[in-house]
Structure 1
Amino acid sequence: MSIPFYRNDPLAHGAVEEIVPGVRRVVCNNPSAFTFRGTNSYIIGRGKVAVLDPGPEDDAHLAALLAATQGETITHVIVSHTHRDHSPGARALVAATGAGTWGFGPHVTPPEAGGEGGDHGFVPGHRVADGEAIEGEGWRLTALHTPGHCANHLCFAMDGNGVLFSADHVMSWSTSVVSPPDGDMADYMRSLERVMAREDSLLLPGHGPAITDPKPFLKALHAHREEREAKVVAALAKAGEATADELVAPVYGPLDPRLVRPAGRSLLSHLLKLEQEGRVRRTQGESFSVA
């Protein structure tokens, strides 16, 4: 099933967009093959406000956030997950404002265990559990622990307006990379099904514009993952035995060279999920075959 991606995003880097009353967006100028046009930071509330996902260490983005909240007080800096394009900007923003920090916890997988891409320096002042609320002046967010893309990933449901801040669990412009060991495809699918069961009317992702019709988008995203898994099993059956990297070409076809390694990581996550389910088995080293 084709995913109806949202890729029309004309908001200039550093500019401010009010999406719904009480929610503003500022896009960091850190475009890449994995971040689209850059990381979205969301300003929540008026007067005394929260900043959700301050982004990477970036002086221009920090200045843009401070300019967007001039005359207001940033009381909360909230982090959806500890990847380097989302949380490192918290340090400078806290230093400039004195705000407290909220998040699920530090990055789960240490660098020596494969925790690449993690911001291992971020430790929230306030740890937020699944179902716990964060409140400020005129706003309230409820945390949903949604591991998969990252083990400490949180989405946040905003009271009263049908908004879910979906961060990198559900992005509007592309699927999310799920890279073991910190990424887990079985967790990702369970988290996706949890979001699918909700009745949110607007998803605000970590990269890309708002998802204005969530139900069909989420359905297509779920179907896409299932179709990818079926392709993995078919390609593995044809090969007899293969590693995740060897399956990239038959499963994905031609790819931007920058995406070959991440594709291999996502395929490994599919294989590990299938192994847990008894559908494939490890033959030797990093090779798998159909069970």
Structure 2
Amino acid sequence: MSDSVPATLGERTSILTRRILAPNAGPMTLDGTNSYVIAAPGSSGHVVVDPGPVHEGHLASLAAAGRIDLVLITHQHADHTAASVRFAELTGAPVRAFDPAFCVGGNPLRGGEEIRVAGTRIRVIATPGHTADSVCFHLPDDGAHGSMLTGDTILGRGTTVLGHPDGTLADYLQSLQILRACGPATVLPAHGPVLPDLAAICDQYAAHRHERLDQVRAALAILGNDATVAQVTDAVYAQADASVRFAAEASVRTQLTYLRERPRALRSDAS
């Protein structure tokens, strides 16, 4: 534990990280957005990942860590980025994101880049799929197996929405393979609880996606290959609550695009 971080500052989630939950719970954000503070034990500097919504109390809690050297963004969605400008004003720290539009006084992130800050190493891994600009942050020195801040690419509960056309299933499946290669790292998601084994959860996520593709194929076999998104959603996500219907339709849209771009995959997912 870093001596410079108050014991009351959020929840300890790993050797190098603490989580501070933003007060924005909802159907899509689960309990709220997890903002993380990264610092090696004894470090006087800190990194904040995803400052979240503009909520002065939440930002004050993040700033209470001490000197903020850098702010990192996992992807463009407002529940992760809305507070970026305000937090940069409060702390003077640059904000870096993969998409230059979400940077504040900092350079865009690059996939494969290693950042040395707050007494540790942070590796940037490009993981498009949820959005085109999604990245994950690998902390290889965070315990025996390291940890991975996954943004919305992997959630602590449920599965992520792929935001067609910005997010694609082909990209997402490839991103899961890339993350799986990092082994049994601790998963630090932007929503929901911490998970113990990155490789295992990547396998579960990939299996779930292929099961959904099978369900979409089965629906198309009955409805015809020209079935609409709404028709397929009715068949595959019949139990979905009305509050998340738009998310179910987004998932179906990405699945249909994936299958229709691969005629063989309409019969068997051989791609």
Counterpart of 1:55 in structure 2 is 52
Question: Partners in 2 of 1:271 and 1:91 — Cα distance?
Answer: 37
For the residue of structure 2 that corresponds to 1:80, the secondary structure is: coil
- Structure 2: unaligned runs, 5 residues or longer: 1-7, 267-271
Question: Partners in 2 of 1:258 and 1:230 — Cα distance?
Answer: 25
Counterpart of 2:204 in structure 1 is 220
Counterpart of 1:210 in structure 2 is 194
TM-superposed CA distance for 1:93, in Å, is 0.9
Question: Partners in 2 of 1:51 and 1:230 — Cα distance?
Answer: 40
**Deviation digits for residues 219-242 of structure 1 (CA, Å, limit 9, x no counterpart):** 111111000001101101101131
**Deviation digits for residues 26-46 of structure 1 (CA, Å, limit 9, x no counterpart):** 000100111111001110113
| TM value normalised by structure 2 | 0.88
| Aligned residue type for 1:260 | R
Equivalent runs, 1:1-291 vs 2, <5 Å: 16-45=10-39, 46-67=43-64, 69=65, 72-106=66-100, 122-124=102-104, 125-161=106-142, 162-240=146-224, 241-279=226-264
TM-superposed CA distance for 1:200, in Å, is 3.6
Contact 1:164–1:200 under 8 Å retained in 2: no
Counting matched residue pairs gives 251
TM-superposed CA distance for 1:22, in Å, is 2.2
**CA RMSD across the alignment:** 1.6
Counterpart of 1:114 in structure 2 is none
TM-superposed CA distance for 1:252, in Å, is 1.6
Question: Partners in 1 of 2:126 and 2:195 — Cα distance?
Answer: 20
Larger relative contact order, structure 1 or 2 (CA cutoff 8 Å, min sep 6): 1
- Structure 1: unaligned runs, 5 residues or longer: 1-13, 107-120, 282-291
Contact 1:103–1:127 under 8 Å retained in 2: yes
| TM value normalised by structure 1 | 0.82
